[in-house]
Amino acid sequence: MIYQKKMGTNTMVIDATFWVAVSFIIFFGGLIYLKIPQKINETLNKLILDIKNEIDESEKLRTEAKTLLDNAQNKLDTAQSVRNEILDQAKKDSDKLIIELNDKFHKTSEIKKNLTENKINQMKDAAIKEIKDASVKIALDSVRKVITTSVDKSKLDILFQKNLDETKAELKKINS
């Protein structure tokens, strides 16, 4: 739509574009009058400053996190080396303990073997003594019988010699 206004001899054509331009100038004039660009600039500067502070803070946090990670990794490495040392020491201690227990077992076995051998020898000696005592008793009983039954000295000497020889032979068999 075209509006025309007559002003004397000149005619001026005012169209929608003119009104848009006037509205645009009034709008920007109002923005400048109300100091909106300064407020927008201040708000943007504040946002920029806040973002910069957040970036700085995140950089500090990243640095602290890296430091904490490095410390944790060092502690983990230390813990692993300590664990390996403990395991090595435990293995050495267990090997040493096994050797000690093995030695004690062999020493105890040797002591028990010696005690058993001593008991066997004592029992053998006691048995030999009993046999000797029994043989002497039998010989004495035989001699008494012979003496009481026969008075003949020649028979007594022969019998005594015979019993003495038998007793000696038995003792030799036992001692061998």
Tell me which amino acid residue 83 is: R
**pTM score of the predicted model:** 0.39
Tens-place pLDDT, residues 122-159? 998 888 888 888 878 887 777 777 667 655 667 767 77
Q: What is the DSSP letter of 15?
A: -
The residues with which 7 forms a beta bridge, in sequence order, are: 10
Percent residues over pLDDT 90 in the chain? 45
H or E stretch covering 4:
strand 3-7
Tens-place pLDDT, residues 39-79? 888 999 999 999 999 999 999 999 999 999 999 999 999 99
Give CA–CA dist 71/120, Å, rounded.
72
Pairing mode, strands 3-7 and 10-14:
antiparallel
Give CA–CA dist 44/48, Å, rounded.
6
